[in-house]
Amino acid sequence: MALPHQKQSPRYLSELPVLPVLLILVLLQSCSHEKKIYKSNCNDDKTFTRITFKHLMDSLDDYDQQYVEVSGKYIEDKDLSALFNDSLFVDHSNKNALWVDFSQECPLYLSGTHTGLFEYNDGSFTQINNKSVTIRGMIVFHPKKKYKATLERISLVKL
């Protein structure tokens, strides 16, 4: 009498490296977040220096009145509009943050549209609070104030 034969799964399934495939799927899913870029043409004639948040804070006086592009975590609240270092291992006090001065002189619009950053759209406002952003603007150094510097004439916000 013959023993019953167990069904075998196709050989290619057992050879498939499951962990790398899952990792790739997760990475592809995380890359699907579309970046939103809000721009103004108020600084089109300026050259921007891309700089790390830490380097900028360490040498603010060197960048006074200069145009920079810097990334960090934007925090807003009543009487608060500031960019902080988004690293977990640094001091997040006001003395290590930049005041962000959005102004009507440099209106920011979603690239390719007439949708403003601060406009009510699709039932809500664009949420930038507690988000990692990249901002372009001019540094104004004032060491004796609550914030050592202000980012003014904001002409780009990437979410």
CATH number of 97's domain: 2.40.50.200
Is 6 inside a domain boundary?
no
**Rounded Cα gap, residues 157 and 99, in angstroms:** 15
Number of domains forming the structure of the chain: 1
Q: Is residue 133 part of a domain?
A: yes
More confident residue, 109 or 91: 109
Q: Dig out the tokens for 103 from the structure.
A: 């102004």
Tell me, yes or no, whether 74 lies in a domain: yes
Residue 129 has pLDDT above 60, yes or no: yes
Q: Assess if residue 24 is contained within a domain.
A: no
Strand partners, 125: 120
Task: Tell me how far apart the alpha carbons of residues 53 and 107 are, in angstroms, rounded to a whole number.
Answer: 24
User: Is residue 81 within 8 Å of 99, Cβ to Cβ?
Assistant: yes
Per the structure, the complete domain to which residue 80 belongs is given by 37-158
Residue 137 has pLDDT above 90, yes or no: yes
**Token pair listed for 98:** 């930049």
Residues sharing a CB contact under 8 Å with residue 152, sequence separation 6 or more, in sequence order: 101, 103, 137, 138, 139, 140
* Residue 120 β-bridge partners: 125
- For residue 114, what pLDDT is reported? 85
pTM beyond 0.95, yes or no: no
Q: What is the pLDDT of residues 79-100, one digit of tens each?
A: 999 999 988 666 667 788 999 9
Domain contains 52: yes
Residue 75 within any structural domain of the chain: yes
